Amino acid sequence: MSTRTVEYTVSSNPEMGMDGRPVASPVFPVGMEPDFQGEHMLINIGPQHPATHGVLRLVLELDGETVVKCTPHIGYLHSSFEKLGEYRGWNQIIPLTDRMDYLAPLIYNVAYAAAVEKLMGIEITERCKVVRVMLMELDRIFSHLIWIGTTAIDIGAFTVFLWTFEERERIYNLHEALTGARITTSATRIGGMMADLPPGFTEAVQHFVDTLPKTLDEVDALLRNNNLWVGRNLDIGVISAEDAVNHGLTGPNLRASGVPYDVRKDRPYYDYETYDFDVPVGENGDCYDRYLVRMEEMRQSLRILQQTLDRLPDGPINVDNPRVILPSKTDCMSDMESMIHHFKVVMEGIPAPVGESWFGVESSKGELGMYVVSDGGSKPVRWRVRGPSFVNISTLPKLVEGHLVADVIATNASLDIVLGEIDR
């Protein structure tokens, strides 16, 4: 058993004194006393762990309490989604999309439907566009609420978890009113939606938009200027702008590092360029900035929600194309042609032209890419999901080097990962 000297820069070490020189303490900071450096310890976090946000395994190489190297191991939730997609018709894949990012299922439903509609050259109706934007922003808030709840509970603030889950129950009620399911919504179909908005839905969303800011203010009051919160998050997990882009970070993680890239602004879809909203951009790229960016994003999403409620047009929710959309049951039972169309859509599936489509959507975690390749059949040749959390978690080793073990938990939480889309 030999000793090794490892040199690295420590970005935030509480053992450093105010003058930048290490403070003598029983826990020796790195690099100060080489002959006190013993063996490094290997610690395993997960895959079953309360604070890893799913089945993530981190193997930390520690020098005392400081992380020398962190290796994430994933694949503990690999559910062969992409393989299953090759055996399902275009509409049958939609229930699979709910189960990947189960914290914001409607965003995945919409992204997938949009990718396939782009491939097929289908232009959805105006009402459907506005409804989909409304549902996506609602789920962005949904996802950020659980993010702040679980991050706070990881760092020790239990109350925030209970408050945000109560708000989420209201969104669960909205999901259930629309689709019948709380989490696994499967609300979209190729060419439209599973069903139009039920009566009372827009009033409920309006009530939600009016009352959520109060809860957000309460959460902010608890956390934003809290000594403990700031101490656990400020200057922790810093990543610079070029490193963030090079590592493929997108979404709030990238914007917290100062890069103003948002798919809704840079490659808009569904008329996002006509909505009036801002994109919060941070400066330092640390956990605290990621927190601020996401809190502000929730408020901006409320702005967009209000605009969708104001501009929601009447009209059909589905495209008028019988080869794509199921006819109504009344027609189907009374009219032979509609029955044949129903038969073809259900038995054969929807025909797609030869080609491919990569559709990027601003999901709550980053840029979600849906890549569908078709060879003219009713099932895809390849369905690829570019899950933002897969890329986000790959930056964790870089973010936590030199930090303490507790900071690993805080940084992991601030990246907002969901294992369903990492492992797919």
Partner 1 sequence: MGLEGRRDLPVLGSGKDGSASFLTTKLDFIVNWSRRNSLWPMPFGTACCAIEMMASYASRFDMARFGMERMAFSPRQSDVLICAGRLPYKMAPIIRRIWDQMPQPKWAVSMGACASSGGVFDAYSMVQGIDTIIPVDVYVPGCPPRPEALIYGLLMIHEKIKGETWFGEEGKLLRAEDPARVGQAQLPAETIEQVAVPFGNSTNQNRGSGMSGVRALEHPRNRRP
Partner 2 sequence: MAKDNDTKFEAALKDLAGTGPGKRQMPGPGVQTEAVDAHPSVDALKATFGDAVLRHEQHAGDEHVVFVDPERLREIMAWLKDEPAQHYDLLKDVTCVDYGGGRPIQVVYELWSIEHRRQLRVKVELPVDALDVESVTPLWATANWHEREAYDMFGVQFRNHPDLRRILMPENYEEGYPLRKDFPLRGRFSRAEQTRRALALDLEDYYLPEELEVKEQKGGTTPEPGAERALPETAGQPGGARSVPGSEAQAGEGE
With tokens 């490193």, the residue in question is: 243
Please choose which of partner 1, partner 2, none residue 50 contacts, taking the beta carbon within 5 to 8 angstroms, the exact cut-off set by kind: partner 1
Nearer to partner 2, 250 or 301 (CB): 250
- DSSP helix/strand/coil, 60: strand
The H or E element that residue 357 is part of is strand 354-363
Residue 99 CA to residue 115 CA, distance in Å, equals 18
Please choose which of partner 2, partner 1, none residue 247 contacts, taking the beta carbon within 5 to 8 angstroms, the exact cut-off set by kind: partner 2
Long-range CB contact pairs, 90-95, < 8 A, 24+? 90/116, 90/190, 90/349, 90/350, 90/352, 90/378, 90/379, 90/380, 91/189, 91/190, 91/349, 91/350, 92/349, 93/380, 93/383, 94/186, 94/188, 94/189, 95/184, 95/186
Residue 118 CA to residue 113 CA, distance in Å, equals 8
With tokens 């080793």, the residue in question is: 397
Question: Which backbone phi and psi does 151 adopt, to 5 degrees?
Answer: -65, -45
Quote the least distance from Cβ 384 to partner 2, whole Å.
5
Nearer to partner 2, 267 or 311 (CB): 267
What tokens does 298 get? 């929730």
Quote the least distance from Cβ 174 to partner 1, whole Å.
14
Question: Which backbone phi and psi does 272 adopt, to 5 degrees?
Answer: -65, -25
Nearer to partner 1, 116 or 317 (CB): 116
Write the CB contacts of 312 (distance below 8 Å, at least 6 apart in sequence). 127, 130, 131, 134, 202
Where do contacts with partner 2 occur on this chain (CB under 8 A)?
1-2, 40, 42-44, 57, 59, 61, 69, 71, 73-75, 78, 80, 82-84, 87, 118-119, 121, 243, 245-248, 250, 259, 261, 266-267, 336, 340, 344, 348, 351-358, 360, 367, 369, 371, 373, 375-378, 381-382, 384, 386, 390-391, 394, 423-424
Quote the least distance from Cβ 262 to partner 2, whole Å.
11
Residue in 123, 122, 91 with CA at minimum distance from that of residue 109: 91
Please choose which of partner 2, partner 1, none residue 267 contacts, taking the beta carbon within 5 to 8 angstroms, the exact cut-off set by kind: partner 2
Quote the least distance from Cβ 375 to partner 1, whole Å.
10
Quote the least distance from Cβ 91 to partner 1, whole Å.
13
Nearer to partner 2, 220 or 356 (CB): 356
What tokens does 132 get? 């989909």
Nearer to partner 1, 110 or 399 (CB): 110
Please choose which of partner 2, partner 1, none residue 320 contacts, taking the beta carbon within 5 to 8 angstroms, the exact cut-off set by kind: none
Nearer to partner 1, 37 or 92 (CB): 92
Please choose which of partner 1, partner 2, none residue 201 contacts, taking the beta carbon within 5 to 8 angstroms, the exact cut-off set by kind: none
Quote the least distance from Cβ 57 to partner 1, whole Å.
9
Please choose which of partner 2, partner 1, none residue 48 contacts, taking the beta carbon within 5 to 8 angstroms, the exact cut-off set by kind: partner 1
Nearer to partner 1, 80 or 227 (CB): 80
Question: Which backbone phi and psi does 334 adopt, to 5 degrees?
Answer: -115, -20
Q: Taking the C-alpha atoms of 405, 410, 416 and 420 in order, what is their torsion angle to the nearest 10 degrees?
A: 40
Question: Which backbone phi and psi does 230 adopt, to 5 degrees?
Answer: -65, -45
Residue 43 CA to residue 60 CA, distance in Å, equals 5
Quote the least distance from Cβ 247 to partner 2, whole Å.
5
Nearer to partner 2, 71 or 173 (CB): 71
Where do contacts with partner 1 occur on this chain (CB under 8 A)?
47-50, 54-55, 75-80, 83-84, 86-87, 89, 95-96, 98-99, 102-103, 146, 161-162, 165-166, 168-169, 172, 182-184, 344, 347-349, 377-379, 419-420, 423
